[in-house]
Structure 1
Amino acid sequence: MTEQIRPDRYTRRDEDEGERLDRQWNELLQELRLAQTGTQILFAFMLSIAFTNRFQDADTFTHDVFAGTLIATALAMGLFLAPVSFHRIVFQRRLRDRMIPIAGRMASGGMVFLVLAISGGLLLAIDVVTSRPVALVIVAVVLAWFIGFWYVLPAFVRRTSATAE
């Protein structure tokens, strides 16, 4: 389902469609810069864990959580970098109106994998300092917190704002 853009939404800012697309692209790039940096640091950290002696002696559960977390981190990083590649391939083809919604979906997908990666990394760390059941409960609460603030609250604000217009 595509969102319908009403002309008055961008003319109120005294910008034409090209300027609106430029602004949206720049806003997306700013968001991606934040997300990419954190994800790349998490990915590097995750890669280093596999080569520690303590990790080599860990149980199957820990290895499975690690593998899932590493994969989620790689997928998040890939989706956060994908708009850059996309832009390079379609650069100067006058496709920004098609590129921005697709790049936005890539960024949203990256956020889903990032929240999974953060949860997995947290589970690996908390599992070391508490019992596994306590670690699972803590991670479930943190995951619910992320879902609430990253998805539920914005969806609520968007829905209530749409009905107010």
Structure 2
Amino acid sequence: MSETGEPKHQQLARNVGELLAELRVAQAGVQILFGFLLAVAFTELFRDASGFEKVLYLVTVLFTATATALLTAPAAWHRLLFREGRRTEILRVGNRVVVAGLGCLAVAVTLTVSLIGKVIFGTVVMIVLWVVVGGGFTLLWFVVPHLLRGGNRQ
């Protein structure tokens, strides 16, 4: 029995289900961002972009592709391994992979917004947006959970 009073296999099944449900939210965001970024490369405005902007764009696409791979991996693992009773491993490794994927997604969104700021308003706005958006993600996705976790320890 687990701490919740349910059999271990039921808890594992529920935890895997919760992980996959959480991933649906993140996957939708990364897919929309990836589609937007892929379309940008074929615009006339992109052809006129500076070398720095093109490099920043490519780095952003790479972070988005990495986030896509990391955030979809646990679903693929579940599909390939669930009949083998490997839920414990899926959850243990999947949690780490998802956190890394969320980090990549936060970087990709931050870089996307910063790149838009650079193209439209210039370098100063790009830097301000990078700090504000990146700081917002860092605070909301990583610092607040860390603080909440620390608040429950006695």
With the shorter chain as reference, the TM-score category is: over 0.9
Q: TM-score, normalised by structure 2?
A: 0.94
> What's 1:113 paired with?
104
> What's 1:3 paired with?
none
Matched, 1:42 2:42: no
Out of 126-135 and 67-76, give the one that drifted further: 126-135
* RMSD of aligned residue pairs (Cα, Å): 1.3
User: % of aligned pairs identical?
Assistant: 33
Q: Which stretches in structure 2 are left out of the alignment for 5+ residues?
A: none
CA distance in 2, matches of 1:25, 1:81: 13
Runs of 4+ in 1 over 2 A off after TM superposition: none
Deviation at 1:120, TM superposition (A): 1.0
Aligned pairs (5 A) from 1:11-160: 11=3, 13-160=4-151
Deviation at 1:129, TM superposition (A): 2.5
Q: TM-score, normalised by structure 1?
A: 0.88
Number of residue pairs matched? 154
CA distance in 2, matches of 1:36, 1:145: 20
Q: Which stretches in structure 1 are left out of the alignment for 5+ residues?
A: 1-6
Q: SS of 2:84's equivalent?
A: coil
Deviation at 1:88, TM superposition (A): 2.3
Q: SS of 1:86's equivalent?
A: helix
Out of 67-76 and 91-100, give the one that drifted further: 91-100
Deviation at 1:18, TM superposition (A): 1.1
Deviation at 1:127, TM superposition (A): 1.3
CA offset digits 1:110-162 (Å, max 9, x no partner): 1010001001110121112222122212221210111011001101111221x
Amino acid at match of 2:72: L
Q: SS of 2:113's equivalent?
A: helix
